[in-house]
Amino acid sequence: TEVMAGNQERTFIMIKPDGVQRGLVGDIIQRFEKRGYKLVAMKFKQFDEAHLKQHYIDLADKPFYPKLCKFMSSGPVVPMVWEGKDVVKMGRAMLGATNPLQSNPGTIRGDFCIDLGRNICHGSDSVDSANKEIALWFDKTELASWSMCTGDNVYE
């Protein structure tokens, strides 16, 4: 396997149906862009319940699994791949805690959410799950190869 440069870590971020319906797509994308991360792939599409069941397979034994998968397939979502240094951990920090009651103001959830089941975005919790999720949501040919025009201004 290829050796990845330190700034080529990738994460899977997804705007959920509630985030789309509330008109927060632009704001969420903008936060990742402004931070300096690179967009590698993105879709705008409604997916079926079977696909969401696969995405959340690790939660299959939780009581909220069926309603979560049903909600997530109730409207279009925006699955994305973002790339950059420590983007998995930083992505989670930018999203804020899963439960909005614990998400700090300034985070995406801390600024826009009230309810756990309507927390508007998803982010991979490890490099390992990021790789799995990216493979589930995107074909290799859908991952764009391009260079940002940031020169040496984002990374020293």
Q: Does 119 bind ligand RTP (CB under 6 A)?
A: yes
Is position 109 annotated in a ligand binding site?
Answer: yes
Q: CA-based angle 133:112:47, to the nearest 5?
A: 35
User: Among residues 4 and 58, whose Cβ is nearest to ligand RTP?
Assistant: 58
Q: DSSP string spanning 62-128?
A: STTHHHHHHHHTSS-BEEEEEESTTHHHHHHHHH--SSTTTSPBTBHHHHH---GGG--EEE-SSHH
Which position among 10, 38, 55, 122 bears the catalytic label?
A: 122
Which range binds ligand RTP by CB under 6 A, 18-26, 40-48, 111-119, 146-154?
111-119
- Joined together, the tokens standing for residue 29 give 């994308």
Fill in the per-residue mask, 120 to 149: x = in contact with ligand RTP (CB under 6 A), - = not in contact.
--xx-x------------------------
With CB under 6 A as the rule, give the number of residues binding ligand RTP.
Answer: 10
Tell me which residues are annotated as active site.
Answer: 122
